[in-house]
Chains A and B, each alone.
Chain A
């Protein structure tokens, strides 16, 4: 077996490739655009040449001799008839053209400047800044120099003048220079004519011009007749004298071959000064003379049902390139006119450009016959479905399953119910040894369809055999030590479970498998909060782990019980929810009494199997147990805790006995239930898991014992209460009417920073809010404490008093974007109202309750307010996904090091101490009030560890054990005590 030990990458370097290297690497030169001959065999030196690798099974690669699948393919090359520009480097090419001399190719910077930029570059690299900025600065500096500091123009004897470079996207470059206009004589003549509109302008005679410019008169006449082109000095003189411009821009197109010649002249040390490694990336290599042909394996052709071959987009593009390339060569050899050559050259450039990138702005994308743009090299890499984001950072995996989730309160929170279908599909590898041989054989003999069965076996020689219904018995007997058996998932296996969106680390947790019938994943309801799951059709993914390291890691780090505490707020995120909370509330609120049967029934699903001492006897002499006593049975024996719940109830627990207060959301709920939090931190995750499981079971039993339902009658309030509500609202209406009158009279005083209109709106809103609140209070007063809605709201199980208010009292003001409803018809919301009606009912105040029923107008306003919420949720989810991606990208490579610092991959310190305080949010107390009593935890652990006081004392170092190392330091003769002998340990 091949040993693929992990290797470490030292560095990755990117550079340009030398055309010679292309040729050396190439398996073959490609010269024909054809792919297959009539018999369906690849054509030699064609695009499907067998030397480029094989894709058809059975054929042998002519380069490496391997078959398809094991041969990765080999590059070929096309000799381009003329150099073309690589689109990826157009910007750099432009910069280099601008920064170097057109004659000698040297960088237009003095030696000192070069030195300076080299230094800056070094510094930028050291500081981790973008070396591109230095490059840009250097180019800018070089561009300023109008003349080359190194070479002399032979014709003028001056330093060579540099021309401006114009870049026409994507791949055309021009040299721009000012030359004498072709119509110079006409221009001069017309400037010398007197201006007919301006009487003060007498024009200029040739003599006058000659005097002004110091040019002989006959020369002037020659210039005027167009016989003589004035030299640069004369031209400037004439321009000055007549205040005209005689130049026009001359654009000289730079062909890729010109650019290549130009770049060849640039000396190595010059480009190194601007940060280009000349050893690896000579600038002339940016102009392609040889085009590498990707191996066929990178552009496989597919055979359609009708036997026709359909080629990859890249192959199509390469065909185009070769065709044009050939035509180019033929035309050039035939001596075609320059114009045709240039056209072909441009066409070749276009094809090579689109071969590399088909989404260049300014170039029409190359299209397939059907009109679909071709997907060429850069399109393969870019974007969400591209190679990086689509195939490397994330990809589809084997051993994963997805289905709908449903609740199962009988499971532990660590477990997940896996449908049999999934369990038989997903496998775990079993290495057969003498100890598990029998088991392995049993799995195999069960076959792929029986449940704890197996799907594949692997012999020591590496051969994999599929276990089928037919061969399973036979195969089972053959299984020996050192075989591998891919057995089905069985109870107790560890798997990873995930629900998207994975917004925090608790979105992916490890669960133990419980294989179950039916087709859904089953979870304990207490793990809903970390996954943010519910059962309205949610689906979740499961991944079966494939090696021992992964399984160990998952079990130790990712198991649900290890995630009880959330790093978000340092308290538990797993705990009782909804009906669990109602259940514990009912059980403990008024401390009800239970008979023996009832008490046993409540504790039936827990591990408690003996009842404590009864709390007392009823009048009839039967023993009874209180709810709090039963609850206490689940608590650790020595737990002592005192806290005040947000409902204002003081909860007292002493030595594992719940004495006072009601157990509600603040005690056992997810998101920071005190008891769960304390147990997790003090007694550990395992104890917490047991506690949460049992509390959930007890609570379900309890709520079933009491019975819990919510009907329409539970929200009704007596008639007199209704009248009081109406009165309160009537009251508010009157006050609003007063406000409106004051406003209409122009007497309303505006609040600071607000207009009068805004003030009125605000005051009305305030008043209506108050009206609703008082309606709520009235309603609340008329609800009994045993009202199920009240129980849910008070215990924190579900809903709030506000919901109750809306159901029974008054729904209240509807708002859109924080304001009363103002939009609609002109000057009014609905056509049911008079224009400019400012009253409450005309702007979305719903005075009825949900139970009482809304009027049509109110219903409509309510729908308007409700719509905003729906839109908000929809828009928020899409935005948060994007935000998440950006956050992850920014933080993904940060890592806490062993020295406590947080660094990125380049070793740059981001934080000197993790979180600036070096603590883990889950390992410290979440606030000052519940500090973790480390001393008592240590005491308890040590007490458990040692059976005798003596051993404990010895461990703690309070007592020295007697030694017989030497007489000198022996018992009784403690001479060493004064001599300070250092012990070996």
Chain B
């Protein structure tokens, strides 16, 4: 075979039709495979108010494994049958699969032993299933079988069917979380340097800003604290006390050290306790001192850089890591101020992350599960009040979850107030479908110019089609994937990755044993 022929064969193999909605499948399968379980495990238990009264034992529900089967339809006579996409489309029903969850109601823990009152795997609701995903009934069918059940063999799949209408979840492009981005900003007419981080953990997103104001002082702002907090105060509150260590953690560059010394000189507090006190006055002014301290501790553990929290790492270490992180943000500010580096390019594709259908479904499932939990709590309390026997099957109403999952997909009104997330599949022609499935949306407002965000960025080469973008107000904000685009998923086993990194000589990874944490690396 000639080289050319060989290449042709390879590319033909590569650009097979299965690839067209591959990113949707991978993401959604990932969600079904582990995302759902992760969300349930995060939730762990459903607590109730039972037991608040004297002499009553608390009751809570432990959540176990979730299991999802393939789509089926429940007929009026109660029989349940496998559902195929074409039938869902024609009958205007939802292509969704029942979700089961192990739940056990536990009583006790206060005076008495914890007793499992009831434990069962129950149907908690129905999850719309992506056509062509691994839980889809047509997964693995060959062309003939597909034709047999009325499916189009060349249909790429990758969408949901809700009430008979086909809906795609728009991939959305966000700024990468947990990354320091340094840039210039203006405040009261002065140019200042800011280091930004969108810190994200389990659906909670917090913007942490580190600014170097015109006097050269560093200020940090993060959610739940109005205005900004002095950098040194915050770092001290986090346990990085001594001047030397703070400076050293920011940078050893003599000019940056000079900047840092200015900051330390202006510092109001010297010790961790003082710093927490000062912070307490900010977050709960006018309250009692004890409450202030409690609130200050709560705020820095809860709202400041939440992504640095990790299971199995103790608070102390998380705090010092937060301090180190803030120091790195400070360094970025100073480097920008000194012209040592240029401001980060927000349009660089390395600074972007894509939310594909699986990620969006995870957000949805999280809020739906919370809603379900609230309902279970209510049902439990009611049943308890009437002195009924508490059983798993009676307290779970599966409609709650189903409704919460279907409604956003049907209307496009996602959690967090985003709209237009799901769209009706463009069936104008086959190309329309393909383009629609591979479409990508930027959350930037279309009414503002945003010239730079609309530009075709060189880093989009090979990832985003340079030609296909709508004309008009959405120009450059709505994009389409390039043919050869490969979308990587986040790593399933983070601990494993970290261990691997540690074994390769990376030091100071939080939560990894066998690394000497007493002497910080002098990098």
Q: How far is the CB of A514 from chain B (nearest CB, A)?
A: 34
Contact of B455 among A825, A860, A871, A873 (CB under 8 A): A871
B476 CB contacts on chain A under 8 angstroms:
867, 870-871
B457 CB contacts on chain A under 8 angstroms:
823-824
- The reply to whether A864 and B475 form a contact with Cβ atoms under 8 Å apart is no
- The reply to whether A825 and B458 form a contact with Cβ atoms under 8 Å apart is yes
CB contact list, A269-309 vs B, under 8 A:
none
A831 CB contacts on chain B under 8 angstroms:
461
Question: Is A1 engaged at the interface, CB distance under 8 Å to the other chain?
Answer: no
CA distance A829 to B459 in the complex (A): 8
- The reply to whether B469 and A825 form a contact with Cβ atoms under 8 Å apart is no
Question: Is A59 engaged at the interface, CB distance under 8 Å to the other chain?
Answer: no
- The reply to whether A860 and B473 form a contact with Cβ atoms under 8 Å apart is no
Q: In this complex, what residue of A is CB-closest to B350?
A: A825
Q: How far is the CB of B424 from chain A (nearest CB, A)?
A: 22
Q: Mark B400-418, 1 if CB is under 8 A from A, else 0.
A: 0000000000000000000
Contact of A823 among B345, B449, B467, B473 (CB under 8 A): B345
CA distance A863 to B457 in the complex (A): 10
Question: Is B451 engaged at the interface, CB distance under 8 Å to the other chain?
Answer: yes
Question: Is A875 engaged at the interface, CB distance under 8 Å to the other chain?
Answer: yes
- The reply to whether A878 and B456 form a contact with Cβ atoms under 8 Å apart is no
- The reply to whether B461 and A875 form a contact with Cβ atoms under 8 Å apart is no
B454 CB contacts on chain A under 8 angstroms:
867, 871
Q: Mark A860-876, 1 if CB is under 8 A from B, else 0.
A: 10011001101101110
CA distance A823 to B472 in the complex (A): 24
- The reply to whether A864 and B456 form a contact with Cβ atoms under 8 Å apart is yes
Q: How far is the CB of B517 from chain A (nearest CB, A)?
A: 32
Q: Mark A816-827, 1 if CB is under 8 A from B, else 0.
A: 110001011100
Question: Is A174 engaged at the interface, CB distance under 8 Å to the other chain?
Answer: no
CB contact list, B30-69 vs A, under 8 A:
none
Known: A870-B475, A870-B476, A871-B475. A823 touches B455 (CB 8 A): yes
CA distance A868 to B449 in the complex (A): 12
CA distance A816 to B476 in the complex (A): 14
Q: How far is the CB of A362 from chain B (nearest CB, A)?
A: 18
Question: Is A150 engaged at the interface, CB distance under 8 Å to the other chain?
Answer: no
CA distance A859 to B449 in the complex (A): 25
A875 CB contacts on chain B under 8 angstroms:
449, 451
Q: Mark B460-474, 1 if CB is under 8 A from A, else 0.
A: 010000110101110
- The reply to whether A874 and B472 form a contact with Cβ atoms under 8 Å apart is yes
Known: A867-B469, A878-B473. A817 touches B451 (CB 8 A): yes
Question: Is A437 engaged at the interface, CB distance under 8 Å to the other chain?
Answer: no
CA distance A868 to B452 in the complex (A): 9
We find that the number of chain A residues with CB closer than 8 angstroms to chain B is: 21
Q: How far is the CB of A326 from chain B (nearest CB, A)?
A: 36
CA distance A817 to B456 in the complex (A): 13
Q: How far is the CB of B127 from chain A (nearest CB, A)?
A: 28
- The reply to whether B473 and A874 form a contact with Cβ atoms under 8 Å apart is yes
Contact of B458 among A817, A823, A871 (CB under 8 A): A823
Among A817, A859, A863, the one with the most B-chain Cβ atoms within 10 Å of its Cβ is A863
Question: Is A192 engaged at the interface, CB distance under 8 Å to the other chain?
Answer: no
Question: Is A475 engaged at the interface, CB distance under 8 Å to the other chain?
Answer: no
Known: A871-B451, A874-B475. A824 touches B458 (CB 8 A): yes
CA distance A829 to B460 in the complex (A): 11
B466 CB contacts on chain A under 8 angstroms:
859-860, 863-864, 867
CB contact list, A800-847 vs B, under 8 A:
816-817, 821, 823-825, 829-831
CA distance A817 to B455 in the complex (A): 10
- The reply to whether A868 and B461 form a contact with Cβ atoms under 8 Å apart is no
CA distance A871 to B471 in the complex (A): 8
Q: How far is the CB of B170 from chain A (nearest CB, A)?
A: 20
A825 CB contacts on chain B under 8 angstroms:
348, 458-459
CA distance A831 to B458 in the complex (A): 9
Q: How far is the CB of B460 from chain A (nearest CB, A)?
A: 9
Known: A823-B345, A831-B461, A860-B461. A868 touches B455 (CB 8 A): yes
- The reply to whether A816 and B472 form a contact with Cβ atoms under 8 Å apart is no
Q: In this complex, what residue of B is CB-closest to A868?
A: B455
CB contact list, A840-898 vs B, under 8 A:
859-860, 863-864, 867-868, 870-871, 873-875, 878
CA distance A831 to B472 in the complex (A): 30
- The reply to whether A821 and B458 form a contact with Cβ atoms under 8 Å apart is yes
CA distance A829 to B458 in the complex (A): 6
CB contact list, B321-359 vs A, under 8 A:
345, 347-348
B471 CB contacts on chain A under 8 angstroms:
870, 873-874
- The reply to whether B456 and A867 form a contact with Cβ atoms under 8 Å apart is yes
A871 CB contacts on chain B under 8 angstroms:
449, 451, 454-455, 475-476
- The reply to whether A864 and B455 form a contact with Cβ atoms under 8 Å apart is yes
Q: How far is the CB of A837 from chain B (nearest CB, A)?
A: 13
CB contact list, A765-821 vs B, under 8 A:
816-817, 821
CA distance A817 to B458 in the complex (A): 15
CA distance A344 to B520 in the complex (A): 65
B467 CB contacts on chain A under 8 angstroms:
863
Among B345, B454, B461, B473, the one with the most A-chain Cβ atoms within 10 Å of its Cβ is B461
A829 CB contacts on chain B under 8 angstroms:
458
B345 CB contacts on chain A under 8 angstroms:
823
A823 CB contacts on chain B under 8 angstroms:
345, 347, 455, 457-458
CA distance A373 to B422 in the complex (A): 26
Q: How far is the CB of A813 from chain B (nearest CB, A)?
A: 16
Known: A830-B461, A871-B451, A875-B449. A863 touches B456 (CB 8 A): yes
Q: How far is the CB of A541 from chain B (nearest CB, A)?
A: 21
- The reply to whether B459 and A824 form a contact with Cβ atoms under 8 Å apart is yes
Q: How far is the CB of A971 from chain B (nearest CB, A)?
A: 81
B472 CB contacts on chain A under 8 angstroms:
874
CA distance A823 to B458 in the complex (A): 7
CA distance A816 to B345 in the complex (A): 16
A870 CB contacts on chain B under 8 angstroms:
469, 471, 475-476
Q: How far is the CB of A850 from chain B (nearest CB, A)?
A: 15
CA distance A821 to B471 in the complex (A): 22
Q: In this complex, what residue of B is CB-closest to A876?
A: B449
CA distance A330 to B430 in the complex (A): 70
- The reply to whether A816 and B455 form a contact with Cβ atoms under 8 Å apart is yes
B449 CB contacts on chain A under 8 angstroms:
871, 875
CA distance A816 to B454 in the complex (A): 12
CA distance A860 to B459 in the complex (A): 11
B348 CB contacts on chain A under 8 angstroms:
825
CA distance A878 to B473 in the complex (A): 8
CB contact list, B287-308 vs A, under 8 A:
none
Q: How far is the CB of A860 from chain B (nearest CB, A)?
A: 5
Q: How far is the CB of A834 from chain B (nearest CB, A)?
A: 14
A859 CB contacts on chain B under 8 angstroms:
466
CA distance A871 to B477 in the complex (A): 10
CA distance A434 to B232 in the complex (A): 100
Q: How far is the CB of A852 from chain B (nearest CB, A)?
A: 19
CB contact list, B412-458 vs A, under 8 A:
447, 449, 451, 454-458
Q: In this complex, what residue of B is CB-closest to A867?
A: B456
Q: In this complex, what residue of B is CB-closest to A862?
A: B466
Q: In this complex, what residue of B is CB-closest to A828?
A: B458
Q: How far is the CB of A76 from chain B (nearest CB, A)?
A: 41
Q: How far is the CB of A248 from chain B (nearest CB, A)?
A: 17
CB contact list, B119-154 vs A, under 8 A:
none
B455 CB contacts on chain A under 8 angstroms:
816, 823, 864, 867-868, 871
Q: How far is the CB of B330 from chain A (nearest CB, A)?
A: 22
CA distance A935 to B472 in the complex (A): 53
- In the complex, besides A823-B457, A830-B461, 7 extra interface pairs with C-beta distance below 8 angstroms are A823-B345, A825-B459, A829-B458, A860-B456, A871-B451, A871-B475, A874-B472
Q: Can you report 16 A-B residue pairs in the complex whose CB atoms are below 8 A from each other?
A: A817-B451, A821-B458, A823-B455, A823-B458, A824-B458, A825-B348, A829-B458, A830-B461, A859-B466, A867-B454, A867-B475, A868-B451, A870-B471, A871-B455, A874-B475, A878-B473
- Pairs A-B, 10 closest by C-beta atoms: A824-B458, A863-B466, A864-B456, A867-B456, A871-B454, A874-B475, A829-B458, A875-B449, A870-B475, A871-B475
